[in-house]
Structure 1
Amino acid sequence: MKIHINDPLDKEALEKLKRELPQAEVTSEHFEKDILKQKIKDYDVLIVRSATKVTKEILEHADKLKIIGRAGMGLDNIDVEAAKTKGIKVVNTPGQNALSVAELVVGMILDIYRFITRGTVGLREGKWEKKELEGFELSGKTVGIIGFGYVGKHLANLLRGFGTKNLIYDVIKVSDEELKKYNAVQLPFEEVLKNSDIISLHVPKNEKTFHLISDPQIDIMKDNVVIINAARGGIVDEKALLKYLKNGKILGVGLDVFEEEPPASDFYKELLSLPNVITTPHIGASTKEAQARVGINIIDRIVEEVRNLK
């Protein structure tokens, strides 16, 4: 059996894979699309993270492939339907990196409210903007959490220490017990948008969620709203963000993900140049602890699926 890891995996996870499946031939190297398309015909198992796009075009050459493992939660970089058509099992690791993403969101909110990045840059440039950088307390604010899955729950739990009021929107009804646990109230989508000081997105990217936040949604939000997207690029209409950032409706934006990655166009140069835009290069899940959990979990899933093969 040939197992190929096309994106970097935690060292301990790789060692565990070799221990659990000693007869398997394991290779680990990143191949770009054209090379992977040539080589995939030889693999029984393919393991990826978010960098590799497992497209229908690639899967057409996967003559032996039985399992695709996605070390992470989302599956938008894998053509799941094409894999299903070929009888290929797709497994992932939901929830293993959720805490890391939630902590980054809290960091972005605090950065925007207290001008941490702007203050740092200003001091490096010789500025002393003490009077200009009067911020806001997070304590007592209303936070709208759009999507109450693994990340949304971790975020609500972290925010309890700040004494925030948490408004939840999710397509699934959240139990009264869970709402009480997270000091949260579940409301319709527009009501969450209208009543939140801070809005954080935690939904998958699909046809229904593409540009879920655009001009009409921002227009009904509070003045000085903060918007955070650490989910997937495309959930928020970034051109609408730029418009409302420039007219002062939005206090600040935190972006870990972008429609175009890396964000290199002239549009992004303008967006990222604004002092109230806090950005990171898609690192929500990039902590030592999360990557260790994700790596071990995907290996456990792969080993289980391999042993179940007939």
Structure 2
Amino acid sequence: MEKILITDQFDETLLDNFSKKYPVTFKPDISYGELIKEVTGYEILIISTRIPITKEIVENATKLKLIIRMGIGVDHIDLEQCKKHKIIVCNTPNSNISSVVELVFGQIIREYRSLDLANANVLNGNFRHKYHLGDELKDKTIGVIGVGRIGSRLCNLAKMFEMTVVGYDPYLTKAKIKKAKVDKWLPLPELLNCSDIVTLHIPHTKETDRLINKTFLSMMKKDSILINVARGKVANFNDVLEFAKKDIIRKFIFDVFPEEPCKIDLPEELKDYFYFSPHIGAYTKESLVNRSIEAIEQLEEYFFGKKPHGKIDFKKGY
């Protein structure tokens, strides 16, 4: 039977049961250099984003047949090399939908109700209401760029808050367009121009590379919020920093960055325009369990000769 190497966090109970059925090696702290040597002995690799799967790793993985990426984005995997070496690549598309959507709405509510300031003021003995006049979500317009699994769930939740939902997704099928709870589908410039909140849920591809740039930002509505919990490289971060000086965008809320880990040195005058988190969109207890469950499901689909769900389309890059 094919040997399996897991290089990242995996639910302990599931791993224990899993290891009784299959030849599994669990090395969550393996380094890039160690993986280059270690990977030669395995047919299946279960990973997250901690280590990039480069050309060097793929070329050394002479037995490798399947890569399961626990999570969604695969821009850290050399898909061209995987295609060349006939390695199947899957992600776990259902594992972190709730965690990402909840983070987005948590950030929106935190921003609209000034919760950080409210907490700080109470702790400092300032209990005056007038500093905390907030905004409601009701009747606000949220623009969703990318209405796939995560984007469509976010649209559903937005409707529960009685928001107006506008969407942009040139790759969505007619059936999915009909099913999505979107009030209006708009071209990207119109969506940016009318949205109080813009949130991105797209993969990083040649088409989306640095989509957030000066042109994109200049089309956004005054005092709007921009949220990126998708992939860091869909933003030109230098353009974002420069545009923040114009005092047009109320808040840039970023959970992902062009290079990770990263250190960001913001000028003092720009700090109020940004709210950062260290790529935690999928990082909940439940999501970590879900991704382990889904990886096992995909593995068993593969072993039974079925096409694993979540298989990456090499032409599309996702």
- Do both proteins adopt the same fold according to a TM-score greater than 0.5, normalized to the shorter chain? yes
- Check whether the contact 2:14–2:292 (CA below 8 A) recurs between aligned residues: yes
Aligned pairs for 1:70-81 within 5 A: 70-81=69-80
- CA pair 129-237 structure 1, distance change in 2 beyond 3 A: farther
Q: How far, CA to CA, are the matches of 2:127 and 2:176 in structure 1?
A: 48
Q: How far, CA to CA, are the matches of 1:94 and 1:13 in structure 2?
A: 19
Q: How far, CA to CA, are the matches of 2:178 and 2:272 in structure 1?
A: 35
Give % identity: 34
Q: Residue in 2 aligned with 1:8?
A: 9
- CA pair 36-270 structure 1, distance change in 2 beyond 3 A: farther
Q: Residue in 1 aligned with 2:52?
A: 53
Instruction: Give the superposition deviation at 1:245.
Output: 2.8
- Check whether the contact 1:5–1:30 (CA below 8 A) recurs between aligned residues: no
Instruction: Give the superposition deviation at 1:27.
Output: 2.8
- CA pair 295-227 structure 1, distance change in 2 beyond 3 A: same
Q: Residue in 2 aligned with 1:153?
A: 152
Residue 284 of structure 2 is aligned with which of 287, 291, 294? 287
- CA pair 216-273 structure 1, distance change in 2 beyond 3 A: closer
Q: How far, CA to CA, are the matches of 2:269 and 2:287 in structure 1?
A: 27
- Other structure's SS at 1:308 match: coil
Instruction: Give the superposition deviation at 1:290.
Output: 1.8
Q: How far, CA to CA, are the matches of 1:8 and 1:177 in structure 2?
A: 33
- CA pair 173-295 structure 1, distance change in 2 beyond 3 A: closer
Q: Residue in 2 aligned with 1:95?
A: 94
- Check whether the contact 1:147–1:203 (CA below 8 A) recurs between aligned residues: yes
Q: How far, CA to CA, are the matches of 1:83 and 1:149 in structure 2?
A: 25
Q: Read off the aligned partner of 2:99 and give its amino acid letter.
A: S
Instruction: Give the superposition deviation at 1:165.
Output: 0.6
- Check whether the contact 1:71–1:295 (CA below 8 A) recurs between aligned residues: yes
Specify every segment of 5 or more residues in structure 1 that has no aligned partner in the other structure, as ranges: none
- Check whether the contact 1:202–1:231 (CA below 8 A) recurs between aligned residues: yes
Q: Residue in 2 aligned with 1:299?
A: 296
Q: How far, CA to CA, are the matches of 2:223 and 2:57 in structure 1?
A: 45
- Other structure's SS at 1:274 match: helix
Q: Which shifted more, 102-111 or 116-125?
A: 116-125
Relative to the length of structure 2, the TM-score reads: 0.88
Q: How far, CA to CA, are the matches of 1:176 and 1:50 in structure 2?
A: 32
Instruction: Give the superposition deviation at 1:150.
Output: 0.8
Q: Residue in 2 aligned with 1:196?
A: 195
RMSD: 2.3
- Other structure's SS at 2:272 match: coil
Q: Read off the aligned partner of 1:229 and give its amino acid letter.
A: N
Q: Which shifted more, 161-170 or 298-307?
A: 298-307
Aligned residue-pair number:
305
- Check whether the contact 1:227–1:253 (CA below 8 A) recurs between aligned residues: yes
- Check whether the contact 1:193–1:220 (CA below 8 A) recurs between aligned residues: yes
Q: Read off the aligned partner of 2:87 and give its amino acid letter.
A: I
Q: 1:161-182 CA deviation, whole Å, 9 max, x = no partner? A: 1111111000124547855751
Aligned pairs for 1:22-41 within 5 A: 24-41=23-40
Relative to the length of structure 1, the TM-score reads: 0.90
Specify every segment of 5 or more residues in structure 2 that has no aligned partner in the other structure, as ranges: 307-318
Q: 1:63-117 CA deviation, whole Å, 9 max, x = no partner? A: 1112111111121121122112112221221132112101110111111111112
- CA pair 178-131 structure 1, distance change in 2 beyond 3 A: same
Q: How far, CA to CA, are the matches of 2:200 and 2:176 in structure 1?
A: 23
Q: Read off the aligned partner of 1:82 and give its amino acid letter.
A: Q
